[in-house]
Amino acid sequence: MLNVVTTTLVDGVAIVTLDNPPINSLGHSLRDRLVQQIGRLQADPAVHGIVLTGSERAFSAGADVSEFGTVLQFREPILRTVIARIEASAKPIVAAISGAAIGGGLEIALACHGRVAESSARVGLPEISLGLIPGAGGTQRLPRLVGPALAFALMASGQTTTVSELATSGLFDVVTSDHRCVQAAIDRAKALVHQGRPYPSARDGRLEPTVVEAEVARQHTLLNARQRLQPAYGALLDAMAASALPFDEGLRKERRLFLDLLETTAAQALRYQFKAEREAAKPPTHLPQARQVQRIAVIGAGTMGSGITIAALDSGKSVLLLEQNETALARGRERIREYYSSRVKAGKLDQQQAFDSESRLTSTLDWKRLGSVDIVIEAVFEDLAVKQEVFRILDANAPPGAILATNTSYLDIDAIAAATSRPQDVLGLHFFSPAHVMKLLEVVQGKATAPDVVATGMSVGKALRKTPVLAGNAFGFIGNRIYNAYRRQCEFMLEDGAWPEDVDAALTAFGFAMGPFAVADLSGLDIAWRMRKAQTSQRDPRERYVAILDELCELGRLGRKTGAGYYTYVDGKQASTTDPTVRLVIERASARRGIERKALSPELIQRRALLAMVNEAALLLDAGIAVRPSDVDVVLVQGYGFPRWAGGPVFWARRQDQGRLQSELAQLAEDAGFGSVPASLDPIFKTDRQAGDQ
């Protein structure tokens, strides 16, 4: 058996240390060893008390995700058995928490007779992010220790919280400064030995049923629309309600709810996304070692360039920010300064951390300063000629071996690389706005991009705490290419009989954060209009083209910023329905097409939108633009508001009948007309491994 638990004896107190690097995940071997060790210590007369601890990095970060869906997940001793042994111990057990105590790790600590924690440690019950609730007593013990309101807030957020923020909550007996945790836990164990049985236990806490009932009812009213679509939130409230029952009855209720959630579509989708995001950062083929990157240059101090700069500074990198004039540079510096100031005011950073980050920023107008950087990330206006001119200048000023990256959303990486004498050093790094917040990063490989440059792009993405996804060079790459097909299908539905609010309502009911027309108004209709006009010469006149957006722009309706787009806005508030002007534009578009308008059901709207995504995803996979099917889902969930608990378009498609889907795609292409190609679904239904082996 692996030596995943070690024990030392200090003055009658056994120090039991979880030793399963890197995060002390609670795999079967650790659970089994821990139960054996606790049993042995019960019989050892030299042991009077026990301290349970982990590493400096983690007390325990919870379940071993590699066991998800395997027999080991439910092989005895399961976590509930481990916890029962701890709680029933004849000798007091005190948890000494440093690093992270998350999920099952925190549930173990809740079952101990005492808890001592370093103030900098982080705790949380993140099961909701996997479509589950705590399944080993967390929903029953935590409310008894901290009250139902705080317990629900911690479990429903899915986030970790510092021990210092919970110091007076009743969760901990002692909060210590760093590196005193184990000694303080020894002292607490000795005090409990001296006190004698019964030792303190969360199961002995009593909650007033009327208080619990009132809090559960209040929280029900506070759930937002997206939370109401996810069964785990309702189950969490049901488990919370059970915390007013006798403890063992509440535990049984929690277990039933947990097991019921395991097989829900939402839980399966969330587990799938969890694994897919980790796989996305691993290129499916072997790449050489990445180049070293310490100093980053960002070209352009606008909103995107400033966001990229902040992401790099937050990761500990030094950044050279370059602009073409002092006014633009000053605006960028001020934007960055205001960001750090706001983080300090919100308590998210201390003043020294903000100062350290800002001190790594250098701003300049001098291109010759690029001579010492390792990578240059261009974030200028989305125009091919402009970017090519920037890359000619970069070619003349960046040092040999420096990587030249473009933050383009749609443009041809190879055309940009052709402006340099070193196309092998050029790649795309497509950040999403706001770049310091959004996790997705498309790493785009051109035809000449060297393998070690691709490896470096992926490495830089991880260093900047992004989720990097490898993409091939094609219009829109993965995300914008699929979103463009989705948006286009939604525009077809306007001509066919739906109003913008019908489409938006149907897709938010499915789980999207916003519908496509509300999104267009928010980002500005002129952005898409400008791109459409640039593509006019490439568009075949036989293709079905919906001109509604163009006409709205010609009327000066550019979205929220002008007070009107698809919707009108008063004091920034969107009207619930479209106005007569928009409806007239849409009706004229239907008439030009010779379409008799018919109302579309929400279910049909959802299905047509999803089918359009699936079709484009299959085309991308077949062309090798997306390498793995799951990469598509990571991109759509992370960057485009696809509901995480629905998994992504590939996940959705795999749960449908393939024959029916193929038939529907053929019909969709026929309705769209010339140029629309029904994809083969074979690439969608291949596993990631099969796709990677191609």
> pLDDT of 235-261, one tens digit each?
999 999 999 999 999 999 999 999 999
Catalytic residue among 87, 107, 442, 616: 107
b (16+ CB within 10 A) / e for 228-254: ebbbbbbbbbbbbbbbbbebeebbebb
Q: In sequence order, which ranges of 315-422 are alpha helices (DSSP H)?
A: 326-345, 351-359, 384-397, 413-417
b (16+ CB within 10 A) / e for 290-305: bbebebbbbbbbeebb
Residue 554 appears among annotated catalytic residues: no
Q: Which residue has the higher pLDDT, 422 or 68?
A: 422
**Considering only CA atoms, which of 574, 435, 473 is closest in space to residue 515?**
574
Catalytic residue among 87, 127, 442, 495: 127
b (16+ CB within 10 A) / e for 185-218: bbbbbbebbeeeeebebbbebebeeeebeebbee
Residue 107 appears among annotated catalytic residues: yes
pTM of the predicted protein model: 0.92
Give the pLDDT of residue 347.
85
Please determine, for residue 33, whether its predicted confidence score (pLDDT) is greater than 50. yes
Asked whether the beta carbons of 491 and 549 are under 8 A apart, the reply is yes
H or E element: which one contains 17? strand 13-18
pLDDT tens digit sequence for 488-533? 999 999 999 999 999 999 999 999 999 999 999 998 999 888 888 8
Give the pLDDT of residue 279.
92
Distance CA 524, CA 529 (A): 9
H or E element: which one contains 605? helix 602-623
Instruction: Give me the phi and psi of 644, to 5 degrees please.
Output: -60, -40
Confidence of residue 2 (pLDDT cuts 50, 70, 90): low
Domains of the chain by range and CATH?
A: 5-262 (3.90.226.10), 295-474 (3.40.50.720), 480-692 (1.10.1040.50)
